[in-house]
Every structure is written in structure tokens, then in C-alpha cells.
Amino acid sequence: MAGPVPIAHSLGDIYTSDALPSQTKRWNKLVSQFEAKYGHGPEFVSRSPGRVNIIGEHIDYSLYPVLPMAIAADALLAVSTSPTPENASSYTIKIANVQGSKFPEHEFSLGFDAVDIDATVHEWTNYFKSGLRGALELLRKKHGDDFKPKSMNILVDGTVPTGGGLSSSAAFVTASALAVMIANGEQTVDKTELTELAIVSERAVGVNSGGMDQSASVFSERGSALFVSFSPTLKARPVQFPKTNPELVFLIAQSFVTSDKFVTGPIHYNLRVVECSLAAAYLNAVLNPPGTRLPADAAPLGISLHGFQETYFALKERAAGATSSKSVSEQLQELLTLTEQTLDKPEGYTREEIATVLGITVDELNARFTSRFPVRAERFKLRQRAQHVYSEALRVLQFLDLLESSSSPASGEDTAAYNARLGALLNETQASCRDVYECSCAEIDDLCAIARRNGSYGSRLTGAGWGGCSVHLVPADRVAAVREAWETEYYSKLQLSQEQKEAAVVVSRPGSGSAVFLVK
């Protein structure tokens, strides 16, 4: 899985045969629009897909493994370059989008020091700039501080719906960083390096994100889901779904409730990141010996619920003078009990209450946890957030186990019963997201209920939630019934454009990850 981002030689390396005709048209159009705009052809196209998360929601930033897969929709950057003269003091980025009315073009003249990003304005090119910034940091590390980036002409074509939970942002940031690396002469780009820089970069846009989306976008392989773990280091490996008859497919259904993390971060996404870190710090203060520090790991706020798990069990073992016989799943079960006992205030905790337990002032608490990404809350629901994270981490392991263990239908279990077990875990995730983590919404709950009534084994939100997309595990012979029910019971009640109607539901098969296509 690790290794360089592939150089594609034909679109058949990237897309499945059913997608190929329409993708070929799209790519040709992109190239001819590029020529019309800049007066010459692109040198290469960088490409990164969106993703759907199958299971493992809101746990990546607590450093627990997740199971997403890439979808066919992607971000493409067609690029040409020109060298920056020895004596120049700046370079130029011209960036335009095939959807010019929605995403207006820009020209930036940039100095050689760090790229400025104003995260207070919501501007589509910020995502490019964050990829640029991350890539340049890496290039400087490799080639020294006086490294001079090339000027670039760029035309972008993105098909991942924005604000829809399918991670248009990570697709764009990773494709951008990849484009900058290739534009500046890198012959190969390491997948792990690209992913890590994109994770850090995306935080520059104002969202305190985990690393699932960028990993899925870069590492995915056609035909497989991806098991991504973050600790101790980023690792990704493909996971196959068992072949069943009827085939199991993932349906992705839009709710058309737009949830913009940039706008609602302080009460939704960024607040959850803070609550999880506060929960970890609180559990650490109460349950570990005084003075124990959680590892400053790669979690957005440096303190993760996963870090607490590791420290807690390691210290316990040391105290007992024995190595633990507990499996990770058993540890997670125990953490659920400890969470219930220790974080016993369902109404939530005030800053004062948390600061007292941590032995710091409220100002120190704010500086450490809520200054970089502001949040708005009177009370922090530490109990519920930790409960969701530990139970969801457990469900990911159970799901993986079902996919990979001998209990798959090949070994004789009745297919429907097996599918029902997979689906039950997805349904439990949805219940936990709705009731415990509070990141669903009525419309998503509705889509899930309709799908289950019509043959879905498991239905849930995917991505950050509070709107956006839902994912459903449906046997191929029930797809039409589920679609029809959504149409009559949900979509027909919304005012949708033709374009929205066509994009509302897609059958998704696991697609391939980032690639570069060299144009001859």
C-alpha cells in the first residue's frame, strides 16, 4: 500500500469500464478548455477522488482506525508550468475552474516565504493554497530553503459534491499538493508523505480535521475498501468485501441538507474535536497517576482518546508487573465502563469544572483547547463523546473481523444472516451518531428509515454529518425498491433541480486513489 502515487498511462488505469466513456469525454473537455484558456496544453493532470466512509465515524481525530473507500467522483487539476528566473522575487499561480461561475478564477503572485491563507474568508482557492503550502514545506525540506517554486497555470474540474460528506475538500487538497510536487520536478511522490502533508494542510483552512479523508483519497485501490490506522504511524491496507449472491452494493444518498464545517465548526465539528480531547484529558487526570502525560501524538489537539487508552493500560500493566492479556477490543469494553463511571454527568461539564480536574486555570484550558479553532459551548458533553468514540472504535474492529474472518458466507453462514450482521453494525453506528454524538439530522434519519424499510441491511450518515450524505448496504436486488421509496417518500418533497435529482443517489463501487496522468 505504501509507495509512490501511481503514474497512470490510460484512463483505464483509473476508472472502471462502466465509467470510462463519460470520464474520457470529461478529460478531453478539460484538456481542450485548458488549451483555449492558456493557449497551450497541460503537461499533466493530477487526480484525487472523494470518499465514502463505510464505518468509523468521528473517530479518526481520536486516532482510531476507520474503514472508508474511494468513490469515482474526483478532483482533477490540469497543469502547465514555467520556470522561475534566478533573480525573481515571486512566482505566479493562475487557477481557474471549469465551473467558472461558481468558482471564479484567480491569479496570485506569491513570495518565496510561507503561503498566506486567510481562513476567515471562505474562498475555494484556499484549498489549493493549503495543498500548495504543505507541498512547498516538503519540497523545502528536501531541496533546501532557497528552493524556488515554479509558476503554474491550472484548470480544475471537481465532481465531488461540496458540503455533502463525500470529502470534496480532501480530494481537492490532495490533488493540489500532488500537482505542486509534480510541477516542481518530483518524479515520484510518496503516498504517505502526500497524505500526511494534506492532513496538516487542510487544518490551515479552518477545520480541525482527522486524517481519514486524505488517506482514503490517496491510498485507495479499485475494488477494495481501505482500513486506515493512524497510530503509531499512518498505515492503510485494502480490505475486500466477500463476494455474495446477490451482490452487496453501497448506495450513497444525498440529504440535500448542506452542512458547511466552515460555518458551523464552532458548534459542530470543531466542538466535537475539542470535546474528545477534553474527555481524554479528563480521564487521564482522574484515572492515571498524577503527572501522567498523554502522548503528544498526531491528533489535532495533541491529546487523543486513543492516547489515553494506550497510557492507561500500559501504566496498569507496569504497576501489575505483567503484560496485559487484554485484547484491544477488551480494552475498549473496559473503557466504556470506565467512561460511564468517571464521566458521570450526562448534562455535560463547564470549563470551570474541567479546569479544576485538570489542575489548570480556565484561561489555560482555553489556550490549550479552544484557541486555534474557536468553539461555542457552555457545557462539554465529555461522557457522550467518549462513549461514542470507544463504541465506534469497537464496531470498526467487529466489522473488519466480519469481513476478514472465517465467519464470512464462504464458510457456510447463510448470506442474508451474514449481511444482517454487517448491517446491524452500520445501524448501531447511526444510532450512536444520532443519540450519543449528536451529529445526525432529521433528514438523514429519514433517509435511513426509508431505506431499511425497503431492504437496506444497514443505513447511516457518512462523513461529518449534520446533513450531507448517507450510505446504505443494499443487496443488488433491492436497489430499485430503495431508490423508488426515497423518490416518493423523500426527494419528491424537495424542490430539486434536474441536476440535483440525477446526483441524489449513486451506486458506489470502491474506486482507485490519487494518480498523475502525464499528457504527451
Query: Which residues of this chain interact with Mg ion, rule CB under 5 A?
Result: 167, 169
* Residue among 60, 74, 157, 213 flagged as catalytic: 213
13 has catalytic annotation: no
CB count within 10 Å of CB 36 equals 9
| Closer CB to ligand NG1, 149 or 211, in the complex | 211
CB count within 10 Å of CB 430 equals 24
The reply on whether position 207 binds ligand NG1 by CB under 6 A is yes
User: How far is the C-alpha of 298 from the C-alpha of 232, rounded, in Å?
Assistant: 9
The reply on whether position 209 binds ligand NG1 by CB under 6 A is yes
Number of residues engaging ligand NG1 in binding (CB under 6 A): 18
For 321-373, where are the alpha helices, taking DSSP H only?
Answer: 328-342, 351-358, 362-369
Q: Which stretch binds ligand NG1 (CB under 6 A): 143-151, 209-217, 229-237, 282-290?
A: 209-217
From residue 394, alpha-carbon distances to 175, 336, 383, 397, 406 in Å are: 32, 10, 17, 5, 19
212 binds, among Mg ion, ligand NG1, none (CB under 5 to 8 A by kind): ligand NG1
The reply on whether position 61 binds ligand NG1 by CB under 6 A is yes
207 binds, among ligand NG1, Mg ion, none (CB under 5 to 8 A by kind): ligand NG1
Q: Which of 100, 90, 198 is nearest to 148 (CA)?
A: 90
| Structural contact between residues 471 and 430, judged by C-beta atoms closer than 8 angstroms | no
The reply on whether position 74 binds ligand NG1 by CB under 6 A is no
Q: Which stretch binds ligand NG1 (CB under 6 A): 11-19, 94-102, 128-136, 206-214?
A: 206-214
The reply on whether position 221 binds ligand NG1 by CB under 6 A is no
Place of cell 502525560: 293
Select the residue whose beta carbon is closest to ligand NG1 and give its number: 463
| Structural contact between residues 286 and 358, judged by C-beta atoms closer than 8 angstroms | no
The reply on whether position 55 binds ligand NG1 by CB under 6 A is no
Q: Restricting to residues 146-165, name those near ligand NG1 by CB under 6 A.
A: 165
Binding residue for ligand NG1, selected from 8, 27, 47, 60, defined by CB under 6 A: 60
User: How far is the C-alpha of 394 from the C-alpha of 316, rounded, in Å?
Assistant: 21
From residue 174, alpha-carbon distances to 50, 457, 503 in Å are: 10, 33, 23
Contacts of 133 (CB under 8 A, 6+ apart): 114, 115, 117, 201, 204
User: How far is the C-alpha of 435 from the C-alpha of 388, rounded, in Å?
Assistant: 9
Binding residue for ligand NG1, selected from 14, 69, 212, 506, defined by CB under 6 A: 212
Contacts of 221 (CB under 8 A, 6+ apart): 1, 238, 510, 512, 513
Q: Restricting to residues 111-140, name those near ligand NG1 by CB under 6 A.
A: none
The reply on whether position 170 binds ligand NG1 by CB under 6 A is yes
Q: Which stretch binds ligand NG1 (CB under 6 A): 50-58, 113-121, 128-136, 296-304?
A: 50-58
Show which residues are catalytic.
Answer: 213
User: Which residues contact ligand NG1 by CB under 6 A?
Assistant: 53, 57-58, 60-61, 165, 167, 169-170, 202, 207, 209-210, 212-213, 261, 463-464
